[in-house]
Amino acid sequence: MTVQLQQLRYFVAVAEFRHFTQAADELGVSQPTLSKQIHTLEMSLGAPLFERIRGGVTLTVAGKTLLPLAQRMIADADAARDAVADIVGLRRGEVRLGATPSLCSSLLPVVLRGYRAEHPGIRLHVTEGSSQDLIADLLAHTLDLALIVLPEQGADPALETVEVLRESLVVASVASGPAPTVARQLDLTELRHTPMVMFRDGYDIRDVTLQACERAGFTPKFAVEGGEMDAVLAFVEAGLGVALVPSMVLANRPLLRATPLAPPGMRRTIALAQRRAAILPHAAAALREAVIEHIAAGELPFGVRAL
Which residue ranges make up each domain of the chain? 5-88, 94-165+268-306, 167-267
CA distances for 273 relative to 37, 156, 158, 210, 217, angstroms: 51, 10, 10, 26, 34
- Amino acid 164 reads V
Contact 66, 11 (CB under 8 A): yes
Instruction: Provide DSSP, 239-271.
Output: TS-BEEEEGGGGTT-TTEEEEEBPTT--EEEEE
Q: Which of 204, 214, 238, 209 is nearest to 103 (CA)?
A: 204
CATH architecture group of domain 167-267: 3-Layer(aba) Sandwich (3.40)
* pLDDT for residue 1: 60
* pLDDT for residue 135: 93
CATH architecture group of domain 94-165+268-306: 3-Layer(aba) Sandwich (3.40)
Q: Which of 157, 27, 108 is nearest to 287 (CA)?
A: 108
| SS3 call for 136 | helix
pLDDT in tens, 209-233: 999 999 999 999 999 998 888 899 9
Q: Which of 270, 263, 104, 240 is nearest to 172 (CA)?
A: 240
* pLDDT for residue 305: 73
> Domain spanning 5-88 has what CATH number?
1.10.10.10
Residue 27 clears pLDDT 80, i.e. is over it: yes
Per CATH, 94-165+268-306 and 167-267 having the same topology is answered yes
pTM of the model: 0.71
How far apart, in whole angstroms, are the C-alpha atoms of residue 299 and residue 306? 10
